[in-house]
Structure 1
Amino acid sequence: MEFLPIALYWGIALTGLVSRRPILLWLFFAALPFGSMVVIPANMTAGLSLVPQTMTAMLIVLRELVLRRGGTQFLLTLSRHGSGQALVLFWVTGVVVTLFAPRLFAGQIDVVPMAVTGFMQTAPLSVTKQNISQLAYITVSVFAIFAFARSFRNEANLWVLIRGVMLAGVITIVTGLLDFAATYVPLAPLLDMFRTAQYAILDSVTLADGAKRVTGLMPEASSFGGLSLTLLSLLWFLRRAMTSARMVRRANVILAGLALMLALSTSSAGYVGIAVLLAMIGLEWAARAGRFQSARLTRRGIRREIIMALAALGALAGVLMTTPQLLDPVIARLNEMVFTKTDSLSYLERSMWTRTSFEAGLSSYMIGVGLGSTRASNFAAALFGSVGLVGFVLYFGFVLRRLTRPVTAADPVAQAVALALKWSFAPPFVVALLVGTTPDFGTVEALRWGVLLALVLMVPSQAAAPHRPMPSRIGPQAGGATGTKALPRT
């Protein structure tokens, strides 16, 4: 039965690969909640679990940068300028360090291997198959940025982005509800069709009070909570770009469902991410109220939203004043999952992972020990330990440039999308700083950076006309004999 989802996936994927329609983009969003499913049987990939999200990103790279006319020229031109150059240098650094560092420092540095063997155990650095797999994952993520940048130069695809996030949210909610219902209804055989990855799938974990941690079709509750938080953050701010009241209402329903899924996941990192999201919402309200944002669409409805928020807070305060015991279960759950987390064995182990990974980066003279050589519980520490100081600076320099680079597109939807992608960055990033085990930033972040890069490449005269397709390549049609003069600074 597990071959049915695989056959369905490849039927859609191969159609999208040859179609002019953005089928692969839709498939990418639909695939996000299926983090425990493989699309190629593991016995054909030497045990490597290729999930739909990663495979679809690979197919988008193949289609946009290899099969479509001008794709290679687009990649070469963009990689010689600004942020694209920094991104390619980051990837080259990762390749060089991964090929040589595990051999150069073999046996000299203690690391926590990606394939954990025991509680709080370290091992001498050595060459492992995880070096190749992690290098492959980060290669897909890096080149997916360029592929997404080319895809979203077509402004009509911005609506695919907005509706795609909504689609991913709906599927996340449905899979979460099915997983929750499986406690009471025999749905396990149906869900097991999609749980075919070779790594550990923790789908039956319960809390001390017997409550099930909802995982949906992700490997564990923390990854399901992280996905729910990421989609929740994106969709909250993407509402500013929606010009249809009906679409906004649908988005609000999906937001409520995602918030419920995040709560049911009981992910402590997800709860921290919610606090960060609330802080970003407050800052965004202040920016909109103070007219610090130039996008016209983002300034709509700010007064109504603040009044509704104050009214909701007032109503909540009134209810708690009359029946304060209603808050007791919430406080108990937060105390168990967040405030006393530092006393748990899991926290102690993860802290040791992060410390060991950071020390490995220092012990390697800040060169790094290679992708896939060390496990951490902090994305920044994993990145530093894996690719060293040079790779660390190159990646975060690219990120900083994308977050601070203004978008010159005249289209208000493009401006609103750019601001949404920037405002929604912090919550999942903070979660990655708490639980990120690998230096791979992932294909969802690749989507974020690719779209922001695409919006910079939209010159004002092109973006002013809504839904007019952008040129498919950087070349003579985009300006000049070589086309490179038309490329804006990135």
Structure 2
Amino acid sequence: MSIEPIGALTVLAGLICLWLGTGALVHGLAITAVLGAAAALFIGGANVLPGHLMVAFLAFGVLSRRRESVAVIKALHPNEPGFWFACLVAYGVASAILMPRVLAGVTPIIPLGTSVFEDTGSTVPLTPVSSNLTQSVHLCATLLCLLTLTAVASTRQGFTVVLSAILAYCVANLAFALIDVATYLTGTQELLSFIRNARYTLHTDSEVAGMKRIVGSYTETSVFARSTLGVFGFTGTLWLYGVQRALTGSLAAFSFVLIVLSTSSTGLVGAPIMLLLLYATALVSLVQGRAGGHAGLFAFYAPVIGLAVVLLLLLNPEATAEVRSYVDLVVLNKAESDSGVERSSWNVVSFQNFLDSWGLGVGLGTTRASSFAVALLASVGIPGALFFAIFALECFLRPRGSIGSLEADAAVAARNGYAGLLLGDLLVSPVIDQGLLFCMFAALSIAARPRRGEVRAVPPIPAGARL
């Protein structure tokens, strides 16, 4: 095991946050969760991300308090969404241990591993791989993060802290994207080497049509686009409801621009879908007779602005040709590129793994896919897919909070933010672990519930409250 400089800083920050209180721990988790290309520790060939290291500090801080410990246990009750996610994790870990051994050689796989042998991109007979362990650890860390954040958000003050922490994540995501572009243009990319030290394949200096592929603090542009789609859905919804209007409106606008300019096919496909989702949210808000916010303005002006943009493009053939060329290059021709063909082959092989395992899956972390849905079926089969579907329905689609309350608004924002993450994952994700931002969205949605004497109010969100 070896610790990197960013890991030492994470440990120091974790200790300071422990001293400051749970609010600081949640904010520390949100900031470190952005560092997707960083490795705090190396354990053999495995990377331990700063966010996962901070999860350990958060869990220690939360579980050392009786009230929060009780809330963690309650989050595992069969009536709570956390129970179903725990079932997914339990089945996933069991499948990672058993399936590659019980079904050894039954089907060819494209391994999801870290060694040179496991990362060739060619098929090998089904066998245990190193990522059976690493993906099991990651998914367990995700469950621990989900339960502890749900416990924190179970109080009114804690709910506000988690909401504030997600906004901190959104700000950090935007800041690192701007830093990424600035360092590339000035030839100072080495300044970011301390947060780009993970033993993954990094695509941080690529261009498309003369444009920098924006990666921010992640490994590649598709991962950045996926994260930013979640940020856009979350902040855009809060802006519609009038929560921290200046901040959420600015974050939503800049996020949308960065998605379009990122040159990611994931972003360009996802952006219009997220706009339609926000427009539907605005219409529902109007039907509910909601006052305040910008839902009415957005519902009226969005079609007008969209129509005006289309007309301007039609009147300017050169601009239309530029837009069409950009979309063709980034989206329409993507499937015919070497990368697109390779990713399609991963999904074909992975789906065959699902069929050859009689619907049980070949084990968590065993095979490489290029879509969350295919990875879910290939890894944990029908049982795991059912556990996840029940969790997602209970977590994000069950009505929560009183209409017009801050908690209800935040729950809808979390649902829309998660829709952005899920959309990106369905397009490119090779694994079923959806990361720490997913945990924050889920905890916010789970914890939202009507409270006695609740009135419509939007209190100022603290930068980091002690609980």
TM-score after normalising by structure 1: 0.85
Task: State whether residues 39 and 197 of structure 2, in contact with CA within 8 Å, keep that contact through their aligned partners in structure 1.
Answer: yes
- Secondary structure of 1:461's partner? coil
* Distance in 2 separating the partners of 1:317 and 1:81: 50
- Secondary structure of 2:127's partner? coil
Gaps of 5+ in 2: 460-467
Deviations 1:408-446 (A, max 9, x none): 457710111111122333232122111010021222212
The answer to whether the aligner puts 1:267 opposite 2:260 as a matched pair is no
* Distance in 1 separating the partners of 2:431 and 2:326: 28
Q: Counterparts in 2 of 1:50-69, with a 5 A limit?
A: 50-64=48-62, 66-69=63-66
Could you say which residue in structure 1 is the equivalent of 2:463?
A: none
Deviations 1:155-200 (A, max 9, x none): 2234334443333333223322222223331312211122111111
Task: Find 1:287's aligned residue among 284, 288, 311.
Answer: 284
The answer to whether the aligner puts 1:110 opposite 2:108 as a matched pair is yes
Could you say which residue in structure 2 is the equivalent of 1:126?
A: 127
* Distance in 2 separating the partners of 1:17 and 1:281: 37
* Distance in 2 separating the partners of 1:290 and 1:242: 17
The answer to whether the aligner puts 1:460 opposite 2:432 as a matched pair is no
The answer to whether the aligner puts 1:86 opposite 2:123 as a matched pair is no
Could you tell me the percent identity over the aligned residues?
22
Decide whether aligned partners of structure 1 residues 88 and 21 sit closer, same or farther in structure 2, where only a CA change above 3 A counts. Answer: closer
* Distance in 1 separating the partners of 2:125 and 2:321: 47
Could you say which residue in structure 2 is the equivalent of 1:174?
A: 175
Could you say which residue in structure 1 is the equivalent of 2:33?
A: 32
Could you say which residue in structure 2 is the equivalent of 1:435?
A: 428
Deviates more, 1:148-157 or 1:166-175: 166-175
Decide whether aligned partners of structure 1 residues 441 and 355 sit closer, same or farther in structure 2, where only a CA change above 3 A counts. Answer: same
Q: Counterparts in 2 of 1:188-199, with a 5 A limit?
A: 188-199=189-200
Decide whether aligned partners of structure 1 residues 37 and 420 sit closer, same or farther in structure 2, where only a CA change above 3 A counts. Answer: same
Deviations 1:116-144 (A, max 9, x none): 85775111111122111000001111222
Gaps of 5+ in 1: 468-490
Per the TM alignment, residue 223 of structure 1 is displaced from its structure 2 partner at its CA by 0.9
Query: What is the identity, as a one-letter code, of the residue corresponding to 2:106?
Result: Q
Could you say which residue in structure 1 is the equivalent of 2:355?
A: 362
Task: State whether residues 159 and 447 of structure 2, in contact with CA within 8 Å, keep that contact through their aligned partners in structure 1.
Answer: no
Per the TM alignment, residue 21 of structure 1 is displaced from its structure 2 partner at its CA by 4.3
Q: Counterparts in 2 of 1:167-246, with a 5 A limit?
A: 167-207=168-208, 209-243=209-243
Per the TM alignment, residue 78 of structure 1 is displaced from its structure 2 partner at its CA by 3.3
Q: Counterparts in 2 of 1:249-328, with a 5 A limit?
A: 249-291=246-288, 296=290, 300-328=293-321
* Distance in 1 separating the partners of 2:412 and 2:326: 34
- Secondary structure of 1:137's partner? helix
Could you say which residue in structure 1 is the equivalent of 2:24?
A: 23
The answer to whether the aligner puts 1:352 opposite 2:341 as a matched pair is no
Deviations 1:69-112 (A, max 9, x none): 24444333432322333222222211221111111111222111
- Secondary structure of 2:254's partner? helix
* Distance in 1 separating the partners of 2:120 and 2:358: 28
Decide whether aligned partners of structure 1 residues 306 and 409 sit closer, same or farther in structure 2, where only a CA change above 3 A counts. Answer: closer
Task: State whether residues 165 and 235 of structure 1, in contact with CA within 8 Å, keep that contact through their aligned partners in structure 2.
Answer: no
Task: State whether residues 417 and 441 of structure 2, in contact with CA within 8 Å, keep that contact through their aligned partners in structure 1.
Answer: no
Deviations 1:438-471 (A, max 9, x none): 0212222122222222124xx522756978xxxx
The answer to whether the aligner puts 1:76 opposite 2:73 as a matched pair is yes
Query: What is the identity, as a one-letter code, of the residue corresponding to 1:145?
Result: L
Query: What is the identity, as a one-letter code, of the residue corresponding to 1:148?
Result: L
Query: What is the identity, as a one-letter code, of the residue corresponding to 2:89?
Result: W
- Secondary structure of 1:49's partner? strand
Decide whether aligned partners of structure 1 residues 454 and 169 sit closer, same or farther in structure 2, where only a CA change above 3 A counts. Answer: closer
TM-score after normalising by structure 2: 0.89
Task: State whether residues 155 and 463 of structure 1, in contact with CA within 8 Å, keep that contact through their aligned partners in structure 2.
Answer: no
Per the TM alignment, residue 342 of structure 1 is displaced from its structure 2 partner at its CA by 2.0
Q: How many residues align?
A: 452
Query: What is the identity, as a one-letter code, of the residue corresponding to 1:98?
Result: A
Task: State whether residues 75 and 150 of structure 2, in contact with CA within 8 Å, keep that contact through their aligned partners in structure 1.
Answer: no
Decide whether aligned partners of structure 1 residues 367 and 4 sit closer, same or farther in structure 2, where only a CA change above 3 A counts. Answer: closer
Task: State whether residues 119 and 349 of structure 1, in contact with CA within 8 Å, keep that contact through their aligned partners in structure 2.
Answer: no
Could you say which residue in structure 2 is the equivalent of 1:390?
A: 383
Q: Counterparts in 2 of 1:138-177, with a 5 A limit?
A: 138-177=139-178
Task: State whether residues 411 and 463 of structure 1, in contact with CA within 8 Å, keep that contact through their aligned partners in structure 2.
Answer: no
Query: What is the identity, as a one-letter code, of the residue corresponding to 1:12?
Result: A
Task: State whether residues 272 and 431 of structure 1, in contact with CA within 8 Å, keep that contact through their aligned partners in structure 2.
Answer: no
Query: What is the identity, as a one-letter code, of the residue corresponding to 1:460?
Result: R
Query: What is the identity, as a one-letter code, of the residue corresponding to 2:246?
Result: R
Per the TM alignment, residue 29 of structure 1 is displaced from its structure 2 partner at its CA by 2.1
Deviations 1:223-258 (A, max 9, x none): 111122211111111224545xxx312322222222
Q: What is the Cα-based RMSD across aligned positions, in Å?
A: 2.5
Task: State whether residues 225 and 266 of structure 1, in contact with CA within 8 Å, keep that contact through their aligned partners in structure 2.
Answer: no
Query: What is the identity, as a one-letter code, of the residue corresponding to 1:218?
Result: Y
Task: State whether residues 31 and 169 of structure 2, in contact with CA within 8 Å, keep that contact through their aligned partners in structure 1.
Answer: yes
* Distance in 1 separating the partners of 2:182 and 2:456: 47
Query: What is the identity, as a one-letter code, of the residue corresponding to 2:103?
Result: F
